[in-house]
Amino acid sequence: MMMSKIVRTMTHLLVPLTFIYSVYLIMHGHLTPGGGFQGGGVFASAVALLIIAFGSQNIHKSLKEHHLSILESSGALIFIGLAFGGIATIFFYNFLTGSSIFGRIPPTGSNPGDIWTGGVIPLMNFAVGLKVIAGLSAILLTMALATSLKEVEE
């Protein structure tokens, strides 16, 4: 079931901003406060807004659970693969620092930072963000669908 037109219009305005903010939190996790978990939580809050405003049945037409589960599994696989990438030295070794991919070393001390630093950390942030986005959205969608079905049956 849908909510009123006012709520839907405000959702149209707010959801893109929230998505952009969540992607910013994930991609700047190694420079500013935030990271994969926090950005994924912000994204899931936008999905919750969508589900409340438009109804879980309408959202379910374009967002299926098995797609989300594929996304979550691929995030976990990227994370574990990156962790195994440094196994020549030790598990979870940061093997990309100093290389050509995300390998710049920032100056020591307070500085605004550079997006192309951090070695394996931005990629891990991305993997964890993908995982949290898919996982929390799957939880929200499944719970909303279950409650909406119960309303129909009663």
Partner 1 sequence: MRKTAIVVSLIVFAALLVVTAFLIHPFGDPPSAMDDYIIKNTQIETGANNAVTAVVFDYRGYDTLGEATILFTAVTGVVMLFRRRKRT
Q: Which residues contact 23 (CB under 8 A, 6 or more apart)?
A: 39, 43
Among 29, 50, 53, 56, binds partner 1 (CB under 8 A): 29
The count of C-alpha atoms lying within 13 angstroms of the C-alpha of 56, restricted to the half-sphere facing its C-beta, is 19
Q: Which residues contact 77 (CB under 8 A, 6 or more apart)?
A: none
Q: Which CB, 55 or 103, lies closer to partner 1?
A: 103
104-123: which residues touch partner 1 (CB under 8 A)? 104-109, 111, 113, 117-121
2-21: which residues touch partner 1 (CB under 8 A)? none
- Smallest separation, CB 117 to partner 1 (Å): 4
Q: Which CB, 17 or 87, lies closer to partner 1?
A: 87
Q: Which CB, 14 or 52, lies closer to partner 1?
A: 52
Amino acid type, 75: G
**Interface with partner 1 includes 54 (CB under 8 A)?**
no
Nearest of 114, 112, 110 to residue 122 by alpha carbon? 114
* Cα 34 from chain centroid (whole Å): 12
**Termini Cα distance of the chain:** 15
Q: Which residue has the tokens 């079905």?
A: 149
Footprint of partner 1 (CB under 8 A):
29-33, 35, 37, 65, 69, 72, 76, 79-80, 83, 91-92, 94, 97-98, 102-109, 111, 113, 117-121, 124-125, 128, 131-132, 135, 138-139, 142-143, 145-146, 149
